[in-house]
Amino acid sequence: MSSSDVIRIGTRGSQLALAQASEVRARLMAAHDLPESAFAIEVISTSGDRILDRPLSEVGGKGLFTKEIELALLDARIDLAVHSSKDMATALPDGLKITGFLPREDVRDVFIGRKVPSIRDLPEGATIGSASLRRQAILKRMRPDLNVVIFRGNVQTRLRKLEEGQAEGTLLALAGLKRMDMVSVATEILSPKDFPPAPGQGAICIENRIGDERVDGLVAAISDRATTIALTAERAFLAELDGSCRTPIAAYAEHRDDGTLMLHGVILTPDGTAMHETVRTGIGEDAEAMGRLAGRDVLQAAGPDFFKGWAE
């Protein structure tokens, strides 16, 4: 195989990101009977990986984890990009598209306690670290007494901060821990009903250039239909709300074997004092419309001023 035939996969360089890229490569190898040498994993440093001293909401939001990778796609330095779906903005750069999603992993969040096993066991006023406005808002709603602080960095960095005593607990996605064989660090697995996940949580997505039929054909063989339908609804909900890392938004859709689709959408104020949610059911073919309607549901319930001020 010549070097021009090698399929270049772009990814961030964290342990989790590399595990995700390796899973995409393995699935492509199996689906198309290709050797590992047919692929090259290209590590691309993103702004989100380098800026660790400020909340994402202050320095650009979701695009910080994708911008440099998408530039590499547009410049044809890579052929496809592997992302955590929850990092993806709803509006992509011109010329790029999400081509497919792998079968979704567990959507739940986990609590990791330094001395106690669960959120309810934390002492009054305990410090909890999280980089997610959604997790912070839900925590504050559950336990207004907690001191919630910003925890940035990859999984290993956050666990190290916990060991150093910078906080009494933190929250992470169970899917990432499963992909790195680190589930044992979780002390409590949180119900998605009580602790709704981020839109796209647990799903790996593949992005490529519009019109690249070679990559389209490769990815079509590994893209999961049920995940695609669910993520279509969740991303439409997010788009209707103009959601970003500046807004605490949760959404979880499930496409069932009988063709029905359920979507649970939630918006909160950052301090957790106000929350509005909706549940819609329908069919998979209506996923995007369901997501849009669910977004309108919560906006109507919240009122026109809900996002003003704190979301700017």
- Which three-class secondary structure state does DSSP give residue 16? helix
Q: What is the pLDDT of residues 125-152, one digit of tens each?
A: 999 999 899 999 999 999 999 999 988 7
**Whether 68 and 212 share a structural domain:** yes
Q: How far apart are CA 110 and CA 178, in angstroms?
A: 11
Encode the chain (312 residues) as per-residue pLDDT tens digits.
455 689 999 999 999 999 999 999 999 999 999 999 999 999 998 766 655 555 555 555 556 678 899 999 999 999 999 999 998 999 999 999 999 999 999 999 999 999 999 999 999 999 999 989 999 999 999 999 999 998 877 888 889 999 999 999 999 999 999 999 999 999 999 999 999 999 999 999 999 999 999 999 999 999 999 999 999 999 999 999 975 446 799 999 999 999 999 999 999 999 999 999 999 999 999 999 999 999 999 999 998 788 775 544
**Whether 217 and 262 share a structural domain:** no
CB 65, CB 48: distance < 8 Å: yes
Exposed/middle/buried for 45, CB within 10 Å: 0-12, 13-18, 19+? exposed
Residue 194 belongs to some domain of the structure: no
What's the predicted TM-score (pTM) here? 0.91
**Whether 31 and 127 share a structural domain:** no
What positions carry a catalytic annotation? 87
Number of domains in the chain: 3
**Whether 57 and 166 share a structural domain:** no
**Whether 43 and 84 share a structural domain:** yes
Q: How far apart are CA 8 and CA 79, in angstroms?
A: 5
Residue 312 belongs to some domain of the structure: no
**Whether 84 and 230 share a structural domain:** no
Residue 195 belongs to some domain of the structure: no
Residue 74 belongs to some domain of the structure: yes
- Which three-class secondary structure state does DSSP give residue 211? coil
pLDDT score for 312: 47
**Whether 132 and 146 share a structural domain:** yes
Residue 274 belongs to some domain of the structure: yes
Domain span at residue 296 reads: 224-307
CB 265, CB 296: distance < 8 Å: no
Cα distances from 122 to residues 112, 115, 130, 150, 189, in angstroms, run: 11, 9, 15, 18, 15
**Whether 73 and 128 share a structural domain:** no
**Whether 86 and 57 share a structural domain:** yes
